Structure 1
Amino acid sequence: MARYLDRDRIALVAALVAPPAVAAALLPLRDSLSNTSVALILVVIVVAVASAGNRLAGALSAISAAVWFDFFFTEPYQRFAISKSADIETDVLLLVVGLAVSQLAARARQLQVVAIRDAVYLEQIHDTATLAQTARSPDTVVDHVTVQLTRLLNLRGCRFEYGNLTGHPPRLEQDGTVVWGRKRWNVDRLGLPGEEVELRTFGNGRFYGRFMLDPTPGTIPTLQARLVAVTLADQVGTALDTTADGS
């Protein structure tokens, strides 16, 4: 997640810097290039920024491109003013097309991130299921899932309690929601509660224990991540149930 935040920050800087830099680099060709060609080159820059960043970066780069096209390539030059109607139309089209294309590029990048995340989640579930079938001790599966949950939900810590239901901590339910007392906690807006959250483990309908999740303040795990966490806990329940039946 931090990697994508850093990438977005870089894209925001590029959104403000790249269009004027490219426009200035094209100045020596102002007499040989048509304004339409310049506008198309700037659209390419907008797409590149949006693909690397998010929608905000794409929108800023589109606005920046339109502003600096006006400044460098429309008469009167080096002024934020346009005297020719054709240049006005080109500048407006640059802005509109740049905004539209940047949003499409940002959406494509978002879908790519989701696809990568889905693949990682699927791999985690598959690895745990394989381990649950092959591990000689269920403790191996418990330790494995403890590490997975810590990374998946960006926790400060995670531990497993066997057969313990003392207290009334917030609880991560099978549908990915969090219940605290008799109320549902708005995880998507508030993140996980500021105290340990229990994730119960069942195998064949029998309760075997619970993971105690220690959330990192300020982080908001997605519903998809929470559902994967529940699935991983169920894999532990399967491993514990298999051992209990075999003993």
Structure 2
Amino acid sequence: MLASRRGGCLGGVRTKERALTTTALIAIGILVPLAVCLLLSSLRAELANTNAALVLVLIVVAVASLGSRAAGLSAAVVSAAGFDVFLTQPYGTFAIHSAADVQTTVLLLVIGAAVTELALWGRRQQARASEQHGYLDGIVQTTGSLVGAAPSRTVIEHVEKQLVDLLDLDQADYAPHADVDAPVLQPDGSLTRRGQPVDVDRSGLPTDTEIWLPAGGGQGQTGGFRLVAATHVARPTHQQRQVAAVLADHVGAVVRQEAMGR
């Protein structure tokens, strides 16, 4: 009960912190473009409206890069409104007499919104890539820590489970001998079938046959893994396939150690 209450309190605090952060970012998205518009209004005689609009686009980009859609859209709206009020005639009103200024104001709003979405998309992609990289590093480190500290059967079973999750397989089993006719997952993460490369990103892993993943960088005496992805098309990334090869190499090292100790 106490843990539940603490968890609830922590969740409430985090929610409040996120709300405060969002509020602060929205405030930045409103105040910064407004301040820039006021500054640009003092330079109306020296600065063309199109140049002023470009400056405001840069401001929207800067605010959007902070990672808040609300802040980026606020900056886009305030920039367009400020451009209208402070930089187009008649000054101090929302009326616009020039068709060119109307187009510039509309474009400023549209471009600002588009830039915000692009910035958020880029941040999401970067976060996903970072998350996957950390996940893959964790797999390799965890498996590496077992080498030399656990029996080979324990390491093999661990790697079998990791390979199924990592490559989206139906099954992965260690075998002491290779199937010479099977496609081979190479140490560099590439896949070859009868000596010809297979485009895994496009066509996925073969579903009509097992795949051979050699342990120990392809040295036959250390065996390898028979990989099965027959019930669906699996498309592990090149980095995931490279990690799979590293895991198999760990198993090869354990098998060699045990063979030398006999």
What TM-score bracket applies, with the shorter chain setting the length? 0.5 to 0.7
Q: Which has the higher strand share?
A: 1
Identity %: 29
**Alignment deviations for residues 99-126 of structure 1 (CA, whole Å, 9 cap, x no partner):** 2232222112111111111111111111
Alignment partners' CA distance in 2, 1:184 and 1:238: 27
Mapping of residues 73-84 of structure 1, within 5 Å: none
Q: Do the aligned partners of 1:204 and 1:238 also contact (CA within 8 Å) in 2? A: no
Secondary structure at 1:130 match in 2:
helix
Mapping of residues 33-112 of structure 1, within 5 Å: 48=68, 85=99, 86-112=101-127
Q: Note if 1:166 corresponds to 2:179.
A: yes
Decide which of 239, 245, 255 is 1:230's aligned counterpart. 245
1:244 deviation in Å? Answer: 0.8
Structure 2 unaligned regions, length at least 5: 1-36, 38-56, 81-95
Q: Residue 77 of structure 1 aligns with which residue?
A: none
Q: Note if 1:121 corresponds to 2:139.
A: no
Q: Residue 139 of structure 1 aligns with which residue?
A: 153
Alignment partners' CA distance in 2, 1:117 and 1:109: 12
Decide which of 145, 159, 164 is 1:150's aligned counterpart. 164
Alignment partners' CA distance in 2, 1:206 and 1:245: 16
Alignment partners' CA distance in 1, 2:139 and 2:97: 61
Alignment partners' CA distance in 2, 1:83 and 1:155: 65
TM-score (norm 1): 0.64
Decide which of 165, 174, 189 is 1:176's aligned counterpart. 189
Alignment partners' CA distance in 1, 2:119 and 2:199: 30
**Alignment deviations for residues 118-177 of structure 1 (CA, whole Å, 9 cap, x no partner):** 111111111111111200x20100000000000001111111112x12340111001111
Q: Residue 241 of structure 1 aligns with which residue?
A: 256
TM-score (norm 2): 0.60
Secondary structure at 1:134 match in 2:
coil
Q: Note if 1:200 corresponds to 2:214.
A: yes
Q: Which amino acid aligns with 2:196?
A: K
1:83 deviation in Å? Answer: 9.3
RMSD over aligned Cα, in angstroms?
3.6
Decide which of 180, 191, 214 is 2:228's aligned counterpart. 214
1:84 deviation in Å? Answer: 7.1
**Alignment deviations for residues 28-86 of structure 1 (CA, whole Å, 9 cap, x no partner):** xxxxxxxx9xxx9x9989x6569xxxxxxxxxx9xxx99xx9xxxxxxxxxxxx99734
Q: Which has the larger radius of gyration?
A: 2
Q: Do the aligned partners of 2:187 and 2:242 also contact (CA within 8 Å) in 1? A: yes
Q: Which amino acid aligns with 1:222?
A: T
Q: Do the aligned partners of 1:170 and 1:178 also contact (CA within 8 Å) in 2? A: yes
Q: What number of residue pairs does the alignment pair up?
A: 186
Q: Do the aligned partners of 1:149 and 1:155 also contact (CA within 8 Å) in 2? A: yes
Q: Which amino acid aligns with 1:107?
A: G
- Which sits farther off after the overlay, 212-221 or 181-190? 212-221
